[in-house]
Amino acid sequence: MCVSKTRLAVFVSGSGTNLQAIIDAGIPNVEIALVLSNNPGAYALERAKKHGIPAEIADHRDYSGREEYEKRVLELLEPYEVDLIALAGFMRILSPYFVRAYKNRIVNIHPALLPSFPGMHAARQALESGVKFTGCTVHFVDEGVDTGPTILQAVVPVLDDDNEESLLERIHKEEHRIYPEALKLIASGKFRIEGRRVLAVN
Ligand code: GRF
């Protein structure tokens, strides 16, 4: 029996260590159909090239506004027949227009235990708040910023001698473990979304 794989697009802007983790995991039910970057200089594009993964660049600076930019991204996606989009360090906020086009088919990884510390500099926010534990979250993207239903989380302790860099480094290790795991779960279809909860279905 030939079961078709989920066609995944990974959106990046920078180094792409999460992209690398997704590639290295070799998720059996997922095919990385496309890497899309808004930044022509993203190292993630090199990673895609090295692994023979198709890549597209849509530089937001070439467009007059968000709507025009997102229209172009949707156009670029079309021929790749993508089922799922994984944001992996993609530094653009997607508007409700785009999110609706891929409703419940966009996921993101965030370096904190949401709903704590949404937005930028999540590890810095954790350090400044004095929490003893932080972590990372894979979640569906809804129309808010870092507000969608949680798929998986991992906990990372905040150590007394941590600075932003050391804490982020340990968070990243967990990101690289749970992002592929979450994508495998989503691709399996064995889940349902109930309000803000993502529940496993056998
Ligand atoms: C990660 O920390 C992720 O949580 C955040 O952006 C960073 C991406 O890093 N959304 P990389 O490009 O995958 O190395």
- Residues 81-99, buried b or exposed e (16+ Cβ, 10 A)? ebbbbbbbbbebebeeebb
Phi, psi angle pair for 85, to nearest 5°? -120, 130
- Note if 60 is an active site residue: no
Q: How many Å apart are CA 163 and CA 169, to the nearest integer?
A: 10
- Ligand 1 within 6 A of CB of 123: no
- CB under 8 Å to 194, separation ≥6 — which residues? none
Query: Would you state the pLDDT for residue 30?
Result: 98
- Ligand 1 within 6 A of CB of 104: no
Neighbours of 191 (CB within 10 A): 16
Active-site annotation holder among 110, 139, 172, 176: 110
Tens digit of each residue's pLDDT (9 = 90 or more) over 20-78: 999 999 999 999 999 999 999 999 999 999 999 999 999 999 999 999 999 999 999 99
Q: Which domains does the chain have, with CATH numbers?
A: 1-102 (3.40.50.170), 109-202 (3.40.50.170)
- Ligand 1 within 6 A of CB of 29: no
- Ligand 1 within 6 A of CB of 111: yes
* Distance from the alpha carbon of residue 202 to the mean position of ligand 1, in angstroms: 31
Ligand 1 atom 2 nearest Cα: 111
Per-residue pLDDT tens, the chain, 202 aa: give them.
Answer: 557 999 999 999 999 999 999 999 999 999 999 999 999 999 999 999 999 999 999 999 999 999 999 999 999 999 999 999 999 999 999 999 999 999 999 999 999 999 999 999 999 999 999 999 999 999 999 999 999 999 999 999 999 999 999 999 999 999 999 999 999 999 999 999 999 999 999 8
